[in-house]
Amino acid sequence: MIARFTRRTALGVIAGSAALALAGPAAAEADFSGKTIEWIIPFSEGGGSDKWARFYAPLLSEALPGNPTVVVKNMPGAGSTKGANWFASRAKNDGSVILGTSGSTQFPFLLNDPRVKFDYADWNVVLASATGGVAYLPADLGAKWKADPKSLLGENFIYGSQGATRLDLVPLLAWEMLGLQVDPVFGIKGRGDGRLMFERGEANIDYQTSSSFLSKVTPLVEEGKAVPIMTWGALDGEGNIVRDPTFPDLPTFKEVYTEMKGEAPSGPAWEAWKAFFIAGFPAQKMVFLPKGTDQAVIDAFSNGFKAVTERADFAEISKARLGVYPQATGDQAAKFKELGTKVDPAATDWIKGWLKERYGVELK
């Protein structure tokens, strides 16, 4: 079962509104006039994390004291651990560098990947964003899926993946549980690269997080080149997986499984999938300041992001870019951080065994 702290935390976070209360004193003494702030995104351009950061960057510039220039800098490599490791060891703690992470950064940390040289406990979270994910197929396979998902059980699928220990773990395990034959091509630097493989016909199944799907895949759907088939879902106030509020017409993985198997998912694989889904999506994207950052600077960024999410037009301008999900600052962001960086040890052990058996990935 999922650890009790995880479910309680999930309920507290998901039940909150999009603009959540910030605790702590104002940081009027922080001033970034004339400064440039680098926002490190440890993925390539075009993916969900890149789109998320580029949406927020100009708004954050307006909201921070002194209106500094906020520049997104992509630093892909090693499934996002390259950029995260750089941030942990070299980022200045004066507010000039911030880091945006995703589930693909959290999962290697949770699984004790030897390439991880950072500790989330060292970092100060100032924004946390929930998101969703959508799986899709090319038009011909999508038409067969719509007629009968079981008709594709013998199809050979190719999927561009960052790695089995990244956020791709969620779709890879979901597809295996459905009985789909999906061969991942590992080594891409971001989900944007996976989408490009799909567009070039080098992959015939893909998934994107909500922000990337809305901006990059929706046009493919409108042109008849892609067919969305499912989402991973969202959490309601009771911790149940329900339909994604941004894509309410699409069934969840849980619904698809139930339809194809004739019964609801259960057992160790389901519990492990659900635990990592919760760690990877309801608490997927976070912004951090490095260890040793002055509290005044932390407060300035927290207040800045809070001001952005409380803009009168935020719901309108964010819907088409981010989807309809909670955006948390202050104490609520800290709860997101706990949700995304702690998983039931039983689920972790099961996943490690599956990774070794399925992909030959051995982790301590």
Q: Provide the pLDDT for residue 305.
A: 98
Closest CA to 169 of 29, 56, 240, 272: 272
CATH number of residue 92's parent domain: 3.40.190.150
CA pair distance 238, 258, nearest whole angstrom = 20
Rounded-to-5 percentages of helix, strand, coil across the chain: 45, 20, 35
pTM for the whole thing? 0.80
Of the candidates 217, 152, 227, 230, the residue with the CA atom closest to the CA atom of residue 191: 217
**What is the pLDDT at residue 207?**
96
CB within 8 A of 85, min separation 6: which ones?
Answer: 78, 115, 116, 117, 118
Give me the tens of pLDDT residue by residue for the chain, a chain 364 residues long: 333 334 444 444 444 433 333 334 443 579 999 999 999 999 989 888 999 999 999 999 999 999 999 999 999 988 789 999 999 999 999 999 999 999 889 999 999 999 999 999 999 999 999 999 999 999 999 999 999 999 999 999 999 999 999 899 999 999 999 999 999 999 898 889 999 999 999 999 999 999 999 999 999 999 999 999 999 999 887 778 999 999 999 999 999 999 999 999 999 999 999 999 988 898 889 999 999 999 999 999 999 999 999 999 999 999 988 999 989 999 999 988 988 899 999 999 999 999 999 999 999 8
Q: Judge if 87 and 144 occupy the same domain.
A: no
* Listed residue (321, 324, 327) closest to 286, CA to CA: 327
CATH of the domain at 147: 3.40.190.10
CB 326 within 8 A of CB 134: no
What token pair was written down for 68? 């500094």
Q: Do both 220 and 286 map to the same domain?
A: no
Residue 236: predicted pLDDT: 82
What is the tally of structural domains in the chain? Answer: 2
What distance lies between CA 172 and its chain's CA centroid? 15
Same domain, 237 and 179: yes
Contact 205, 157 (CB under 8 A): yes
Q: 226, 255, 279 — which closes off a domain?
A: 279
What is the token pair recorded at 301? 């960024």
